[in-house]
Amino acid sequence: MAVIEQIRCGSVNSYLIEERGRAILVDTGRKGFEEKILNVCRRTKVELILLTHGHFDHVQNTAYLAHKLDVPVAMHQADLSLLKADFPEPVSYQGFLGMLVAEVSAKSVDKDKIPVFTPEIYVREGDSLKAYGINARVLELPGHTRGSIGLDVEETAVIAGDALMNLFYPGLSMIYWDRDRMIESAQKISALGARKIYFGHGNPVENQEWGRIGI
């Protein structure tokens, strides 16, 4: 059975998914947490870095960690432009809390750049990670960004990235590229049934009917 370890990087989470001495790292956090993540990864054999989406707070340490761990990087190709232009797409938000999150993100982008890296692998819906020792499949979860993805791990847990958030309360992401597609992705997660949901921001909770919660 896979073990999912939450690595807290300020308000952002990275995750180490390990089974029988093999592991993948999901998201790489922001600068300042690279050594913390690396120390966790060095306890086992990390074989892949998987990025849930291309926003800087989830990918900023990717170049460093990929080099140190000597592993390939995987993500959805639809988010590749975010790496090249550091958050070039305007984002929408819902409500006062969403406005605050959007403002903080915009200010951070002005000073936080993404060190250059090139993903070696582009993943799609249904892709398996068994080749890397983990029984998980990729879920396409667009809405927060064009290429947002998650992982269904052993049909017991979902790494949701920012398709869902638990910043102030568990619910839909407070900022998004496409609101309707974000809702569809949330409903897709709900339809999976009994799962523990691991967020890009916040602590895990049990799956539920996300619907329009938080918007």
The pLDDT of residue 213 is above 60? no
CATH topology of domain 3-205: Metallo-beta-lactamase; Chain A (3.60.15)
Average of per-residue pLDDT values in the chain:
91
For the chain, give the DSSP string: --EEEEEEETTEEEEEEEETTEEEEE----TT-HHHHHHHHTTSEEEEEE-S---HHHHTTHHHHHHHHT--EEE-GGGHHHHHHTS-S--EE-HHHHHHHHHHHHHHHHH--------SEE--TT-B-GGGT--EEEEE-TTSSTT-EEEEETTTEEEEETSEE-SSSSEE-SEES-HHHHHHHHHHHHHT-S-EEEESSS--EE----TTTT-
Q: pLDDT tens for residues 80-135? A: 999 986 555 656 666 656 566 656 666 565 567 899 999 999 999 999 999 999 99
pTM of the model: 0.92
Q: What is the pLDDT of residue 93?
A: 64
Q: Where are the domains of the chain?
A: 3-205
